[in-house]
């Protein structure tokens, strides 16, 4: 795959008219409507979505999947994950991780977002030139873009809608993630949504109050300097799952909405948590 933006078509069956009406007449789905089209004859919706799958890894790079719940339609329209204005700081936090060695051109363009930023990001992400240690793959559990993950429940309503969502987005989504993991020998997933994490792990009791617990554990770790104790406190944010006979270690990171929160010495919690996860993955190679 050499293109980030992809087209996908799903069949809506008996839910076609209701879903079409919801997306085309509801203002909150305007962004989705602008990147999708409906085919009445086939009762389908075709929409743009996004994935970043580097064609190959460089020597000694650990392939890691960064997994989001679903795309944002504005980022899809722009041509890059997390390119809507309130999300762009994600890239600064990511490239500040200890395992990263981004080039000067990349580091200059990310905080000063311009049209060329997306081109520079695309080149670096598809060639994995930002790190000697990791090669990152970006994907989503469910491919249909919405402003908020919870908006999918407003599109796929009642029993029939939930079943349609399961069969057209969730099950194919997991199949896609497994296929990508097998193809690129990925054994570690980093998830940014507690809801998506629980779905993958098939356990609704996991990761309760995760953001607050992560921040507390990071603050205490700053004093204790004990990473083993750190992971004991967050034991349910690291799970091993078996997907089609492939063992995957799944981590829940800090939600992206808290990417700008800092600890008392001015470090971003979001970057610190990613550092902890990347170090754990490296340790368990």
At 151 the pLDDT is 97
pLDDT level of residue 115 (50, 70, 90 thresholds): confident
At 1 the pLDDT is 45
Tell me the average pLDDT of the chain.
96
Tokens of 274: 């990613």
* 148-204 pLDDT per residue, tens: 999 999 999 999 999 999 999 999 999 999 999 999 999 999 999 999 999 999 999
pLDDT level of residue 60 (50, 70, 90 thresholds): confident
Q: Is the pLDDT of residue 2 over 80?
A: no
Q: Which domains does the chain have, with CATH numbers?
A: 50-283 (3.40.470.10)
Q: Is the pLDDT of residue 210 over 70?
A: yes
* 219-278 pLDDT per residue, tens: 999 999 999 999 999 999 999 999 888 999 999 999 999 999 999 999 999 999 999 999
At 49 the pLDDT is 98
* 21-44 pLDDT per residue, tens: 999 999 999 999 999 999 999 999
Q: Is the pLDDT of residue 57 over 90?
A: no
pTM: 0.95
The sign one gets for the Cα dihedral 167, 171, 176, 179 is negative
């Amino acid at each position: 795959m050499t293109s980030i933006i992809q087209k996908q078509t799903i069949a809506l069956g008996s839910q076609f008219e209701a879903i079409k009406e919801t997306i085309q007449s509801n203002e909150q789905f305007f962004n989705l409507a602008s990147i999708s089209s409906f085919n009445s004859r086939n009762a389908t919706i075709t929409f743009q979505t996004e994935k970043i799958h580097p064609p190959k890894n460089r020597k000694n790079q650990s392939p890691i999947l960064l997994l989001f719940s679903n795309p944002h339609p504005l980022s899809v329209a722009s041509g890059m994950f997390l390119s809507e204005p309130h999300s762009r700081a994600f890239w600064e936090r990511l490239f500040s991780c200890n395992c990263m060695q981004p080039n000067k051109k990349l580091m200059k363009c990310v905080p000063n977002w311009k049209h060329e930023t997306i081109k520079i990001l695309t080149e670096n992400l598809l060639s994995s030139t930002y790190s000697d240690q990791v090669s990152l793959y970006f994907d989503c559990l469910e491919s249909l873009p919405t402003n908020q993950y919870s908006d999918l429940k407003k599109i796929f309503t009642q029993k029939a809608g939930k079943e349609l969502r399961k069969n057209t987005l969730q099950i194919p989504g997991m199949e896609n993630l497994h296929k990508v993991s097998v193809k690129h020998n990925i054994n570690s997933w980093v998830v940014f949504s507690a809801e998506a994490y629980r779905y993958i792990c098939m356990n609704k009791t996991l990761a309760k109050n995760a953001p607050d617990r992560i921040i507390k554990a990071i603050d205490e770790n700053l004093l204790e300097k004990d990473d083993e104790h750190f992971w004991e406190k967050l034991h349910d944010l690291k799970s091993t799952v078996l997907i089609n006979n492939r063992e995957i270690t799944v981590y829940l990171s800090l939600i992206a909405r808290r990417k700008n929160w800092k600890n008392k010495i001015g470090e971003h919690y979001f970057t610190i948590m990613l550092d902890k996860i990347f170090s754990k993955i490296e340790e368990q190679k």
